[in-house]
């Protein structure tokens, strides 16, 4: 370029860059739940008894025999039950949010 061309050229304009803007957004969430249950069943019983019997045999004159039997039984029983139950539940939830804005020049 010649000196006259340099003198005739229009001045250049320098513009500022627009301000920088940064934005950061973060979200975090968690949830948990649990449950447990239990049951306990106890059964018990007792049984007792007694048996008695008698037998009588007789002979008649004609040679035949006759037998008589007598029996008796006594039974006693007892029973019971015990039951217990338990339950537990738990739930947790957490949320966290973060937002950062940065403006520069």
d(CA 19, CA 17): 6
The model's pLDDT over 49-94, given as tens digits with 9 standing for 90+, comes to 998 999 888 888 888 888 889 899 989 999 999 999 999 999 999 9
Whether the per-residue pLDDT at 38 is higher than 90: the answer is yes
Cα angle 5, 7, 8; round to 5: 65
Above pLDDT 70, what percent of the chain? 79
What is the pLDDT at residue 59? 83
Q: Which of 73, 28, 27, 79 is nearest to 52 (CA)?
A: 73
Q: Per-residue pLDDT averaged across 12-36, rounded? A: 77
């Amino acid at each position: 370029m010649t000196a006259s061309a340099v003198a005739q050229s229009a001045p250049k304009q320098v513009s500022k860059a627009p301000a920088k803007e940064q934005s950061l957004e973060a979200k975090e969430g968690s949830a948990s739940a649990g449950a447990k249950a239990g049951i306990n069943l106890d059964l018990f019983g007792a049984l007792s008894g007694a048996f008695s019997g008698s037998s009588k045999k007789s002979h008649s004159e004609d040679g035949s025999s006759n037998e008589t039997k007598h029996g008796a039984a006594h039974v006693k029983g007892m029973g019971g039950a015990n039951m217990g139950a338990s339950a537990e539940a738990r739930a947790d939830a957490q949320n966290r949010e973060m937002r950062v804005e940065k403006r520069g020049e």
